[in-house]
A and B are shown apart, each in its own frame.
Chain A
Amino acid sequence: MNILIVEDHRELGSEIADYLVGAGYICKWVDTCEMALEELHSNDFDAMLLDVGLPDGSGFDVLKAVRKQKSKIAVIVITARGELNDKIDGLQLGADDYLTKPFALTELGARLYAIIRRIHGFSANELEIHGFTIQLQDYKVSYDSEIISLTKKEFDIFQYLALNKNRVITRLQLTEHIWGDILEVNSDSNFIDVHVRNLRKKLDKHAPLDWFETVRNVGYRINVEP
């Protein structure tokens, strides 16, 4: 899976690339509109992370150029301006999703996974985790074709951890994923624990959960042998 990262902030670009490489993607990172267009012409990419504020122009111009070519590339627009107008502009110009800086890398991973799956029509709508099947589109989890009834929040947590398997997901990341980018400062992330506890109780009835790890003081991790 080839990803083009267009981000003028060198260090941020390399952190994103680090994460995506760790998640199994092949990344190319550029920092100007011009280089982005050059790369898009010479190589095939499945997805592009596009920062709006670039030194030689607006990322939206790159987006326009890409969409003119009727390319199927998945585009996630990244911007630091949480402005409504930017969001509308981006989506109208053909962006597939939109992330506001600062975002969690795991959030980026989950969105990227969903978009690539949708755009490139992958049949893999299911995730297999130690015998549990997560049906991503139907919001269902089953074990041995027996459906496990989860609340929406429980499903979201399970899916998020599964999509970011082998990574520690902090409570903060889970909070942000479930409740969105809520404005409340220091919102109590302990509620995550309640949901995770309930989730584990439900899953535990079917199979042992030694792979569902609680990382002390940090969060949770689903371990899957590579």
Chain B
Amino acid sequence: MKIKHQLTIFSVINKLIIILVLWFLLPLLAEKVVYSHIDKSLLEKKQKFVQHLDKEEINDFLIRKDTTETYASFSTLHSEFLQLYQIGQGTGSPKSFYKNETRIIEEEESNYRILYFDFAYENCYYRLEIGNSLSEMEDLMYVIRIFIFIVLIASIVVTFFSEAVFIEYLLRPFHKIIHTKIKHINDPESFDFTAVETHSDEFKELDQGLHLMMGRIREVFNKEKQFIANVSHELLTPIALLKNRFENLIQNQSLDDQAVDKVVSSLKTLDVLKKIINNLLLVSKIENNQYHANETVNLTELLLELIEEFDDRIRNKNISIDFNMAESVAVKGNKALLHVMFFNIIGNAIKYNVANGTIILSDGYANDQYTITIADTGPGMTPEQIGQVFDRFTRMDLNQEGQGLGLAITKSIAQFHHIAIDTTSEVGKGSSFRLLFPTEAKT
């Protein structure tokens, strides 16, 4: 799951919790505030009453038994009332307490906050009730709840979108780092060392870390390249000297046949040495990504060229070529390397074929992947041999000349181009190499 989505979900859940808490707490708080306010005003009224307390007042407020009136006094909107009546037994000292009760005043039912005050006056016990309607407060609570609901839902929606945009903005340098600095880098040489623009220290740190790492990799890489260049220079220069010296030596008329034979055979040895070094250098260069794969190569044309190139060997063994390339597909790659790859496969198909044998070249599609199959009618390989066929210095037939580097190079080139090679073989019938090209390589 993306950080963006995780953060958004987290923030929404967070806000929902806050809303739920406020939904419960805010009315409770408001209620408390309102109660303390009401209580204070009730207390003031009681004190006023107690201050002016005399017989006349008591008589004035005392509910007379002969009337139907239950309340001694109430405001016109029934928001307040006052009630005084005699009770039989008091507790002795005056005491007061608050209570919420439902009262009906003039057939209107309403919740009241009531202050009860028991007191004794001239040996009579009285209870004073001062009430304050709670309907206003209930309205207030309702308004508060609605308010919370609307404001908070609206803020959720608004912040959800603004956060999504902001997170997207925050993470943009991250995506940029991934895309420009990590995903599409094959060669440290092509690494872009310009800093990614960001205000987040973390991404700056990541960017700088990548630069440091890439710098070190580049250093190692260049050292290796330099090493390869040096090795090749140091080895190939003496070989060049020997080769040229022997070539000059052959021209010497005074050499007898035996000496000439030895010189020629030394030249052949030098040639083998040169080719082994060049092959090893080629493999290491491919594996170091020192080649570019940006040419458009038509594979059918390439194979036709190769068959032309092998013409004499094919005729020499009287091999028939079955050319079944139906699609004319071009891929992105390195032409020289692809040439070497097919050269080695077809060369082997000829070398290991029987006289009057056949080589079948065909193409097609397997699950959207373009494939080329090169099959021969050679002696075939055992499953163990198939497993080793791409290893360096492996030779299938010890009587055959060669150093067994051809298919190792083929494998390196295939890997470099992301081509999969599927090898099947049956002893006595022949081998077949199927190359599966990556879908994105097609042009």
Contacts and interface: CB of A to CB of B under 8 A. Distances in A.
Contacts of B241: 9, 11-12, 15, 102
Most buried by A among B251, B343, B344, B347: B251
B340 A15 contact: no
Contacts of B72: none
B236 A184 contact: no
B155 interface: no
Interface in B321-379: 340, 343-344, 347
Contacts of B131: none
Contacts of B405: 183, 185
Contact of A218 (B229, B233, B260, B340): B260
Interface stretch (A38-46, A80-88, A130-138): A80-88
B208 interface: no
A170 B403 contact: no
A101 interface: yes
B172 interface: no
Interface string B290-314: 1110000000000000000100110
Nearest to A166: B251
Chain B interface SS verdict (over half):
helix
Contact of A183 (B264, B282, B290, B309): B282
Interface stretch (A25-33, A63-71, A119-127, A186-194): A186-194
Given A80-B233, A82-B232, A183-B340, A102 B244 contact: yes
A195 B229 CA distance: 37
Contacts of A167: 251
Given A185-B275, A194-B312, A105 B257 contact: no
B401 A186 contact: yes
B128 interface: no
Nearest to B315: A194
Nearest to B348: A184
A174 B409 CA distance: 25
Contacts of B268: 172, 186
Interface in A189-226: 191, 194-195, 215-218
B248 interface: yes
Contacts of B344: 183-184
A106 B244 CA distance: 9
A194 B340 CA distance: 24
Interface stretch (A16-24, A90-98, A141-149): A16-24
B281 interface: yes
B417 interface: no
Contacts of A100: 236
A150 interface: no
Given A82-B278, A170-B264, A184-B344, A15 B244 contact: yes
Contacts of B278: 82, 181, 183
Contacts of A12: 237, 240-241, 244
Given A80-B237, A185-B272, A195 B347 contact: no
A59 interface: no
Contacts of A168: 250-251
B250 A11 contact: no
Interface residues of A, number: 43
B312 A217 contact: no
B82 to A, nearest CB: 105
A184 B309 CA distance: 13
A19 B248 CA distance: 7
Nearest to B347: A184
A59 to B, nearest CB: 12
A114 interface: no
A22 B249 CA distance: 12
Interface string B252-293: 000001001100100110111011101101100100001110
A196 B246 CA distance: 23
A182 interface: yes
Interface string B224-235: 000001001100
A113 interface: no
B236 A102 contact: yes
A79 to B, nearest CB: 8
A83 B275 CA distance: 15
B316 interface: yes
Contacts of A173: 247
Contact of A103 (B240, B282, B309, B316): B240
B186 to A, nearest CB: 15
A101 B237 contact: yes
Given A80-B233, A105-B248, A185 B403 contact: yes
Contacts of B94: none
A83 B244 contact: no
A195 B312 contact: yes
Contacts of A188: 313, 401
B437 to A, nearest CB: 22
Contacts of B316: 191, 194
A18 B248 CA distance: 8
Contacts of A170: 247, 250, 264, 267
**Pairs A-B, 4 closest by C-beta atoms:** A102-B240, A186-B401, A101-B240, A15-B244
Given A101-B237, A104-B243, 10 more contacts: A82-B232, A101-B236, A102-B241, A102-B242, A103-B243, A170-B250, A183-B344, A184-B275, A185-B272, A215-B260
6 contacts: A19-B247, A82-B281, A84-B292, A85-B290, A103-B243, A106-B247
